[in-house]
Amino acid sequence: MKQLSHLAFALILGLAFGCAKKDDCCPNCEHAEKKPTADAHHHDPPHGGTAVTLGDEEGHLEFVRDAATGKLTAYLLKPHMTGFWRTSATQFEVAAKVGDKTETLVFKAVANAATGETIGDTAQFEAQADWLKTTERFDGTLTELNLNLPGKTFKAVGFNFPKGN
């Protein structure tokens, strides 16, 4: 009888506290960890904006729209969005297809005293256009972004705003 009560006690503890390693005990339970799949690979943009992958995950641009001012801010990010990627580039352009018109957005480098960024050493760029105040979606093409690093020029990178690429 004593052994039966020990067994019952162990069973109750196991049910109350669960298993030590979730995947081993019950892979179909709600609490089992989900294993990532190959097509689940993604990164969350740090500002909650639209992520555009450059090259083969060599970097990213994140676009953040401010509808009130008609401003679109672009942040240049390192591979896997692990941090900001400062560049000596002072501007780049995006051709935006808005309805049946093509608009050109010229993104200019922005200095930021809080981060020590200067024109010619920054990861932040801005473009302003009145049509951005009312346009929530457009198809864009980064015409060329030269990061002034060997082999780091990105051309004709297509994306949708706000979906990304």
**Amino acid at site 128:** Q
Largest CA distance in the chain: 85
Asked which of 36-40, 85-89, 151-155 is least confident by mean pLDDT, the reply is 36-40
Q: Quick one: what percent of the chain has pLDDT higher than 90? A: 46
Q: How confident is the model at residue 149 (pLDDT cuts 50, 70, 90)?
A: low
140: nearest Cα among 165, 123, 116, 122: 165
Q: How confident is the model at residue 42 (pLDDT cuts 50, 70, 90)?
A: low
- Report the pLDDT value the prediction gives residue 74, as an integer from 0 to 100: 96
Residues of the chain with CATH 2.60.40: 43-161
Highest mean pLDDT among 13-17, 31-35, 108-112, 147-151: 108-112
Q: How confident is the model at residue 12 (pLDDT cuts 50, 70, 90)?
A: very low
pTM over 0.75, yes/no = no
Q: Span 131-148, mean pLDDT?
A: 89
Q: Span 70-86, mean pLDDT?
A: 92
Query: What kind of fold does domain 43-161 have according to CATH?
Result: Immunoglobulin-like (2.60.40)
CB 136 within 8 A of CB 86: no
Q: Span 120-127, mean pLDDT?
A: 95
Q: What is the mean pLDDT of the chain?
A: 78
